[in-house]
Structure 1
Amino acid sequence: MRKYKFIALAMVLAVMLMGAGYAYWTETLTISNTVTTGDMDVVFAPAHIAGDYDGKINLRDILDDLWEAIDDGDYYNFNQAPYMTVSLEPLNDYKQLSFEITDMYPGTGGLLAFLIVNDGTVPVTLENITYDNLNDSKGLRDELNYIIHPLRAYELISNNGILNALFNELFVVNHETIHCDTFDEFITKLNGLLSGVTLKPGECIKMGDVLFEQGGYNIEMPAGITSDALEEATFSFDLQLNYKQGE
């Protein structure tokens, strides 16, 4: 009987010892995974964007100030014609521009000047340019002249708190000023210039002569127009720049 008890106790002790033999410390390595998506944000900014600001500049925080600093009458009425007015107003969270020429007459016109800025975190490519909401009461659109200024790309930077869109020229798309006699030609030429152009974050496009600081395009009524049929005419359209994610 004692022999069996001894064997039983020995087996229990052996099992306990075996368990102790398999005990070990543990340590866990953890990899935290976080994925954030980029922001595709293309906005319109005024052609004259230079200004003095303190610290790091967030473009969206100062867009209102930049637009309000532009004097429509002095800038967009490029030949300072009396009796007519030219205005440019950003809409739809800076993604739309309202350009209006009021009381135009032969020999006058307006200048639409702007920057197209990639204010997001991913590259963007202009896919195409389209127009919508065309309103032409008397066939005025093909009686006007359209002038597209040279197209350049710049890096939008802040140097010691001074924001400047013309500090670092990246590339030139078109050196020459283009004159268009019809509205369809204007849209086709503008499409050919801008389609396929890619902007990295912080880059912008400006159409204009660097020396004279003109930008965008002109819409002019030729001085030779004498027909009374075009009096009190209305011509309006929405120009849409359609962007996609770039590479």
Structure 2
Amino acid sequence: MKKAKIITAAVLAATLLMGAGYASWNDNVKIKNSVETGTFNVSFDKDNCWVLPSDSLVNADMNKIESDNLYSTLKDTKTLEVTLKNMYPGSEVCVNTVMKNYGSIPAKFDNVEVSGPTGDNGLIQDLEVPFLYGYIEHKNGTVSSLPDVDSKGPIKLSQLQAKMNNLLSNVILQPGDTLKLQKSNNNKNNNSGIAVEDHFNIELPKDSTNITQNKEAKFDITISWKQVD
């Protein structure tokens, strides 16, 4: 009987010790998980996208451009509608297209779609883009020029989509980076703070005939992005 009591006491003591060990484990080990997803958002900068005749930019008050701008409409965050009107042989329209990575993860260029153009066929066939270059303005203030790809102009408006897809094919925008397209490759010293032009031009050549008088054309530029693999 005494031996049985000793065994029972030993088993009870062992059980209590195991319970104490279990309690100790639960009291001292705490695991807390926190998961946050990133944001993907590359959009046109609505305050810096506009289309205006080049002669209207001479001594222009840039603060009034948005209210005076009757040549473009942002249909959504990735689509800019461009209207070409009141042009004459030798005139140009400046297209300011600025896209920024407002998200928290890198974005890779997917494709450009130039839909249309609609309007007068004679005007559409005559319109040209003299030159097209691009650069990235990084969050830290430095600037990187995009590699020149078939930069010799002019190209016809009908070739703009292929040209833009070629130019932007390898572009990756880090969070806070801004993409700008321009009419010249004047980017040599802008890492030291020298400003560059933020627009490219569409022109009606000087040899255009009278059939383009009082005509209008419209087209959309849609620039799409995807997540970096």
The TM-score normalised by the length of structure 1 is: 0.69
Contact conserved, 2:90 with 2:203, CA < 8 A, in 1? yes
The Cα shift of 1:148 comes to 3.4
Q: Deviations over 1:80-137 (max 9, x none)?
A: 399xx76344342x33223333322222121111222111111111122222243133
Structure 2: runs of 5 or more not aligned: 59-68, 188-193
Matched, 1:77 2:59: no
Percent same amino acid among aligned pairs?
20
Residue 212 of structure 2 corresponds to 230
Structure whose alpha-carbon radius of gyration is higher? 1
Do 2:134 and 2:145's aligned partners in 1 also have CA atoms closer than 8 Å?
no
Give runs of aligned pairs for residues 122-141 of structure 1, distance below 5 A: 122-141=105-124
The aligned length equals 203
Partners of 2:166 and 2:219 lie apart in 1 by 19
Q: CA deviation at 1:10?
A: 5.6
Matched, 1:244 2:226: yes
1:130 and 1:240 in contact (8 A); partners too: yes
> Cα distance, 1:76 vs. partner?
3.2
Unaligned runs of 5+ in 1: 1-6, 46-62, 158-166
Q: CA RMSD in A?
A: 3.0
**Structure 2 partner of 1:11:** 4
Counterparts of 1:138 and 1:170 in 2: how far apart (Å)? 37
Q: How far, CA to CA, are the matches of 1:155 and 1:100 in structure 2? A: 30
Which structure exhibits the higher relative contact order, with contacts defined as CA atoms closer than 8 Å and separated by 6 or more residues?
A: 2
Q: How does 1:117-196 map to 2 (within 5 A)?
A: 117-157=100-140, 167-174=141-148, 178-196=152-170
Distance in structure 1 (CA, Å) of the matches to 2:181 and 2:89: 25
Q: Which amino acid aligns with 1:90?
A: L
> 1:109 is matched with which residue?
92
Superimposed CA distance per residue, residues 10-60 of structure 1 (whole angstroms, 9 cap, x where no aligned partner): 635641442123323222223223333221110112xxxxxxxxxxxxxxx
Q: Distance in 1 between matches of 2:197 and 2:110?
A: 25
CA contact (8 A) 2:110 2:226 kept: yes
| 2:71 maps to 1:87 | yes
- Aligned CA distance change for structure 1 residues 105 and 212 (closer, same or farther; 3 Å): farther
As a proportion of its length, which structure holds more strand? 1
Task: Give the distance between the partners of 1:225 and 1:15, measured in 2 at CA.
Answer: 110
Q: Which has the higher helix share?
A: 2
SS in 2 for 1:153: strand
Q: Which amino acid aligns with 2:114?
A: Y
Cα distance between partner residues in 1 of 2:127 and 2:7: 104
Paired amino acid for 2:117: L
Aligned-partner Cα distance in 1 for 2:93–2:168: 21
Output the CA distance in 2 between the equivalents of 1:191 and 1:18: 78
